[in-house]
Structures are given as C-alpha cells and as structure tokens.
Amino acid sequence: MSYSKRNRRREGESGFTLLELLVVIVILGLLIGLVAPAVLRQLGHAKESIAKQSVAQIGSVLDLYKLDAGSYPSTQDGLQALLTKPDDAVAWAGPYIKGGTLPHDPWGHAYLYQSPSGRAGLDYDLCSLGPSGKSGQPGDPGLICNP
C-alpha cells in the first residue's frame, strides 16, 4: 500500500507551513516599518504642543507673580521664586505652583528663564529646550519660547 504525503497527515491535524508564517511575518514587518515613522512624528508634534501650552501656563503664573510682587522674578531668582519667597520680594503671595516642585518640559528638561528679556518688547524669556535639551538663545531653532 502506497501513501502519498497528503495522506500521511492525520485527520484533524491542521496548521500553517513555515512559508506561510514567514510571509505573514514579512508583511507585518513592512506594515510596522511604514506606520512607525508616522506615529513617532505625531508623538513629536504632541510634545511640542504640550511644551507651547506649558510655556503659556507658566507665563500666566509669572503674570500673577508680577501683580503681587510688582515685577517679574530676576534671572538669579528664576522660576524658583514661584515656589519660595525671594529675599527682595515685598508682597509675595505664593507659592504660585502646587506640588512644591518646578515643572519640566515634555522631554524632562528644566525651563530656561531670563528676566529682563533679551528680545525687544518682552519682559522675560521663558523657553523649553526642546528635544535636544541644548541651551541657546531665544529664537534659536529647537527652543520653544514665549511669544
């Protein structure tokens, strides 16, 4: 009695061949390769948007500080003046930030603060260092600063 390869397989046994599995893996790899860059790009845009919103919110807190103290914190006092009263502040009504710690940008870097501003028409500079984390001057590419 002669059995062909097809007849050697027991009844009820099913499965995928190695070739079928490899084809599926290759297709999944191609799909991931095409989709992943777009997803990562959107994640980068989301972090930039969060940084812009955070700079605006901290700017509002700095405005409250100015209303109470009469001026923005000096560069030397920095954003820490929003948490603890500077020695020269007369009418400080803080802390202005809850939680007892200064916020960081979406990439985990401290915000860059300078007062008076190095830019015309602004009282202070408040910037996120962006994804690179490299310090620079307001207006440099990669920095996300108050308008």
Task: Answer with the residue of higher pLDDT: 53 or 45.
Answer: 53
pLDDT tier at 145, thresholds 50, 70, 90: confident
Would you say residue 69 has pLDDT above 80? Answer: yes
Question: In this structure, is residue 2 part of a structural domain?
Answer: no
Q: What pTM, to 2 d.p., does this model score?
A: 0.66
Tally of domains in the chain: 1
Question: In this structure, is residue 60 part of a structural domain?
Answer: yes
Question: In this structure, is residue 7 part of a structural domain?
Answer: no
pLDDT at position 9 is 56
Mean of the pLDDT values across residues 7-27? 77
- Helices H / strands E in the chain, number of each: 2, 3
Question: In this structure, is residue 95 part of a structural domain?
Answer: yes
Number of Cβ within a 10 Å radius of residue 96 = 18
pLDDT tier at 58, thresholds 50, 70, 90: very high
Question: In this structure, is residue 108 part of a structural domain?
Answer: yes
CB under 8 A, 24+ apart: contacts of 11-18: none
Question: In this structure, is residue 8 part of a structural domain?
Answer: no
Question: In this structure, is residue 24 part of a structural domain?
Answer: yes
We report the CATH number of the domain holding residue 137 as 3.30.700.10
In which domain, by residue range, is 69 found?
19-145
pLDDT at position 64 is 92
- Render pLDDT for 107-119 as a digit per residue (tens, 0 to 9): 899 999 998 888 8
Task: Answer with the residue of higher pLDDT: 91 or 1.
Answer: 91
